[in-house]
Amino acid sequence: MSDVYSFPVRTIEGSDATLEPFRKQVLLIVNVASKCGFTPQYEGLELLYRKYHERGFAVLGFPCDQFGHQEPGDEAEIQKFCSLTYEVSFPMYAKIAVNGANAHPLYQYLKKAQTGVLGTEAIKWNFTKFLVDREGQVVNRFAPTDTPAKIDADIAALLH
């Protein structure tokens, strides 16, 4: 695949899709989990989405159960949790693997485009964030400990 928009994905409702509808938008792609110490970041992610959505920004959530079995539910349970607990309105997708032989092709692409500490590609934990500019370039990778508030300025700079 030549860009982030081409990869086949499945929405949390079960429909096949791509990220093509988000072309020319700034994206924050995040592997999320409902039972993680970082789960409260859903609140900050939603705040960013609401703050910048009309300026061409989207948060895309990809649930993952590869870290400490912190996303045990199915898509319906995940969607209910996100809606009721954090009023998530940004797009959510079906549960995926982000590491290993079964890593989703989108995440294989993201990890190659922006490696982690010391050049490692592996995702270390839930709530790793990839920032994509309007041209589809993966411009930054943020650790789970980087809160949504901390990366607000990075997003704003890309929305100029």
Q: Which residues are designated catalytic?
A: 36
Q: What letter represents residue 19's amino acid?
A: L
> Cβ atoms within 10 A of the Cβ of 121, count?
16
**DSSP conformational letter for 148:** T
Cβ-based neighbour number of residue 106 at 10 Å:
24
Measured in whole angstroms, the distance separating CA 61 from the mean position of its chain's CA atoms is: 4
Count the Cβ atoms, other than its own, within 10 Å of residue 90: 19
The rounded distance, in Å, linking the Cα atoms of 87 and 152 is 20
The DSSP secondary-structure symbol of 68 reads T
